[in-house]
Amino acid sequence: MYGEIKIYTGTAHPELAHEICDYLKIPLSGADVFQFPNENIFVKLHQSVRGQDVFLIQPMTRPVNKNIMELLIMIDTLKRDSAGRITAVIPYFAYARSDKKDQPRVPITARLLADLIETAGADRYLTIDLHAGQIQGFFKIPGDELTAFHLQRDYLLRKGLDNMVVVAPDVGATKKARNLAEALNAPLAIVEKRRVGNDPTARALSLIGDVEGKNAIIFDDEIDTAGTMTNAIHFLKQAGAKEVYAVATHGILSPPALERLREAPLTELILTNTVPIPPEKRLPNMTILSVAPLLGEVIRRIHFGISVGALFNE
């Protein structure tokens, strides 16, 4: 049996860590985490974690490589202070698109990150909606991939939209979109697109399904530069969709995402706070759902040895 729950955070998303602590009704544990002028990262815990059950909250968000190093150094610090168990809570896992060799002479960076997290000393990991599910197999330590699906589904059900159709913005998102369509008792449509080489710009080619006169809900795991999403939004409006809603777990919103989304005929953009979305990135039609209660409840269950899977069996 481990000691008390201790929640630590790096500098990536302290707001989320505070929300998780509010849910658990425990204080956030203190640590000095800063970067020297030479860009070396320094960490010092404010108190001992010997024998404690430690959860470290650190999404791999911008600046990505700095936050990854912070994560690894903090894990190492906790390990060297004899923490009883260390769980790396990584709401957003970067490099998830680099999950296989899809062309010659390229790395599998997601596997490298899994190895680094284990080597640093993590005993478990927690993440939300991986871009590629097989990344779970890159870890030799136990872990849980959570999903924001139920949070998103419940929000959409509360909106009470009628005549809905769920749309996958590309073929790769079809399975997740189909699950949402089933949960909302709505039909499914798919936007077929094609990429050319390593060009991040995707071109929508055709629509499988019917959206005319319907409220279209585009469902994907993340929005980065918003090229795929805004192509789909414009394409659906041209195909006769009444209103278009976009739903995604991770709002990365790399440039020029905000400009694209501002100009798109989009009724509402629904994201979660797996990564911080600062005020300057918030659009008037943006809704942000908090994953803190989900993470807080899962942390509680892991600590007390209660099934995590049972939380999603509904």
| Co-location of 132 and 176 in the same domain | no
Residue 38 among known ligand-binding residues: yes
* Domain membership of residue 60 as a residue range: 5-147+292-312
At 65, which helix (H) or strand (E)? helix 64-80
Instruction: List residues with catalytic annotation.
Output: 193
Residue 220 among known ligand-binding residues: yes
pTM, to two decimals: 0.93
Residue 222: beta bridge partners? 250
Report the alpha-carbon distance of residue 220 to residue 215 in Å, rounded. Answer: 16
Residue 18 among known ligand-binding residues: no
CA 123 to chain centre: 21
| Co-location of 110 and 10 in the same domain | yes
| Co-location of 106 and 163 in the same domain | no
Q: What is the pLDDT along the chain (314 residues), one digit of tens a residue?
A: 789 999 999 999 999 999 999 999 999 999 999 999 999 999 999 999 999 999 999 999 999 999 999 999 999 999 999 999 999 999 999 999 998 998 899 999 999 999 999 999 999 999 999 998 889 999 999 999 999 999 999 999 999 999 999 999 988 889 999 999 999 999 999 998 765 555 555 564 789 999 999 999 999 999 999 998 999 999 999 999 999 999 999 999 999 999 999 999 999 999 999 999 999 999 999 999 999 999 999 999 999 999 998 888 75
- CA dist list (Å): 204 to 121, 165, 217, 300: 44, 18, 17, 43
Q: 97: domain CATH number?
A: 3.40.50.2020
Residue 195 among known ligand-binding residues: yes
| Co-location of 276 and 189 in the same domain | yes
